[in-house]
Structure 1
Amino acid sequence: MRLAANTFALQLDDRSFDLKPSLRAASYLHQKYGFPALYQAVRDGSFTAIMDLITATSEDVPVASIHSILDAREQLLEFVLILSGADTTSNEPQSGELISFDEYVADLYKVGAGHLGWAPDVVWNATPVEILAARAGRVDLLKDILTAVFGSKEQSADASNVASNRDDLNAIGDLTVHSLGAR
């Protein structure tokens, strides 16, 4: 997971435009095209699909020639992969259970709005990388809190020894009481 992937610089002529693979843009484009069809449309040079991709992911719609936009197809194909949740920085195969993109978006939304407590608009404008990094930070925080409250595993082992010793002492007391009462 690379946090720097929260924007993608699209180079057109001598200008650069930032494209953001937000959850909202990914969901919208998936519903409109599906990622395999969007990828194919961009590869085939569909100006409509390319402009849908750019306008859904950028606040600054480029004013450029059709020729320069079509020349940017290789960049946009990589961006479609990022938008779909693929890790373009690694050549290693991804492991884990395959889920549909709709389930992926729903799970990320649950994490953002539910686990992290973000407002819906914040979740929709965040990238999957941002949501997952924030979740990892929240998990680390909760682990630190649990360790501070309950101690580490080593402290827990010491506590169980104390409890065991206390039980042994209580058992001796019970034997003494029973022994005295039996006389």
Structure 2
Amino acid sequence: MKLAETILVEIAGEEIELRPSLRHAMRLERREGSFRQLFREINEGSLTAAVDIIEPHFFGQYLKNRVLDALPTLTPALTAYLLACAGIDPEAPANDTAGAKSGKTQTFSEYLQQLYRYGTGWLDWTPETTLDATPAEILEAYKGKLEMLKAIYGTSEKAKPVDDRPLDDKFRSLFAGIGTQKVESAA
């Protein structure tokens, strides 16, 4: 998983870095239609959607005019930004289930809230640090914390001891343990 990949857009000759932090993901998720609608609008060349994404990262004047001129070239970078805000690595293998929980579905809002809980609860980060981190950074730090806890405390999965004895010896041990004796026939 890529962590904090730099996403740059050029508007009116000025480079603007878009940092896909949890804060920005939560803000964009609250938009009408959430990320699904935002993806659709970006692919359709919506000025409003592009401005909504870029505005928190831009410190200047006349953003709408500048974005309007650059709009046709912004789609790939804005799409990459939205994917990063969602914690999705488009280059990851399709069967990669990192961070996925078994069987339980959740809304995108719940997913972002879970990331916040990971940051502030499991990782003991401040709310500010958690909101400034990207979803990929939070997920990787969370995995690291789980690995550390497993290394310190072990896991509930007990490794079964390997018994390399021949099958006859295993049966003898089993039946001897319950008081069974082998009786030879007299015939």
Same fold (TM over 0.5): yes
1:127 and 1:111 map into 2 onto residues whose CA distance is: 12
1:61 and 1:92 map into 2 onto residues whose CA distance is: 40
TM-score, scaled to structure 1: 0.67
2:83 to 81, 84, 93: 81
Q: Does structure 1 residue 146 correspond to structure 2 residue 153?
A: yes
Segments of 4+ moved more than 6 angstroms: none
User: Is the CA contact 2:47–2:67 (under 8 Å) kept in the aligned structure 1?
Assistant: no
RMSD over aligned Cα atoms: 2.8
Unaligned runs of 5+ in 1: 148-152, 158-183
1:114 and 1:65 map into 2 onto residues whose CA distance is: 39
**Which structure dedicates a bigger proportion of its chain to helix?**
1
Q: Which residue does the alignment assign to 2:169?
A: none
Residues 20 and 61 of structure 1: is their aligned pair in 2 closer, same or farther, counting only changes over 3 Å?
A: farther
User: Is the CA contact 1:54–1:61 (under 8 Å) kept in the aligned structure 2?
Assistant: no
TM-score, scaled to structure 2: 0.66
User: Is the CA contact 1:47–1:70 (under 8 Å) kept in the aligned structure 2?
Assistant: no
Q: How far does the alpha carbon of each residue in 1:102-153 deviate from its partner, in whole angstroms, 9 at most, with x for none?
A: 1101111111111111111111111111111111222232233336xxxxx8
Q: Which residue does the alignment assign to 1:105?
A: 112
Shift of 1:94: 5.8
Shift of 1:61: 5.7
User: Is the CA contact 1:55–1:61 (under 8 Å) kept in the aligned structure 2?
Assistant: no
Shift of 1:35: 0.8
Aligned residues: 148
1:127 and 1:61 map into 2 onto residues whose CA distance is: 24
Unaligned runs of 5+ in 2: 162-187
2:85 and 2:11 map into 1 onto residues whose CA distance is: 19
Shift of 1:26: 0.7
Q: Which residue does the alignment assign to 1:18?
A: 17
- SS of the equivalent of 2:16 reads strand
1:1-183 matched pairs, under 5 angstroms: 1-5=1-5, 7-12=6-11, 14-33=13-32, 34-56=34-56, 58=57, 60=59, 64=66, 66-90=68-92, 92=94, 95=97, 96=100, 97=103, 98-146=105-153
1:85 and 1:65 map into 2 onto residues whose CA distance is: 25
1:81 and 1:65 map into 2 onto residues whose CA distance is: 20
Identity within the alignment, % = 30
2:67 and 2:89 map into 1 onto residues whose CA distance is: 30
